[in-house]
Copies of this chain bind each other. A is one copy, B any other.
Amino acid sequence: MAMSSDLFKGTLQTIILNLLAQNEKMYGYEITQKVKLITQGELLLKEGALYPALHKLEAEGFLETSTEVVDNRLRKYYSLSQNGEKEMSYKLEEAKEFILNLQLLLNIKPNLA
């Protein structure tokens, strides 16, 4: 990643799982571009961070893969397994708690609701 330094450490898995929850199936390069788009270029997800994270999530049984060849280039699609959906829900709640606590600690106005 880049720019905002290492604040995103620890959130990468949550981000990946959440994107896959919203998109059904995605391939690695697509994820990097999606993240870049959503954050307007402020977060640049590097291959050295992404691919090991994907492999780990797959090894843990949270992701399933299928490959396609497009324009003579390989695409490895990832999608959430059932366990992956559970893990995603869990990590999302955890992230919400994290954000609230961080806002409290930094004295930032928290979400109204």
Contact = CB atoms under 8 A, between A and B. Distances in A.
B38 A4 contact: no
A50 interface: no
Contacts of A106: 14-15, 18, 92, 95
Interface stretch (A59-67, A69-77, A78-86, A96-104): A96-104
> Which 5 residue pairs across A and B have the least CB separation, nearest first?
A6-B10, A9-B9, A7-B98, A9-B10, A7-B10
A5 B11 contact: no
Number of identical protomers: 2
A67 B60 CA distance: 49
Interface of A: 4-11, 14-15, 18-19, 22, 35, 38-39, 42-43, 92, 94-99, 101-113
Nearest to A22: B107
A72 B59 CA distance: 54
B105 A18 contact: yes
A15 B102 CA distance: 8
Given A10-B5, A10-B6, A10-B9, A99 B97 contact: no
Contact of A108 (B99, B104, B107): B99
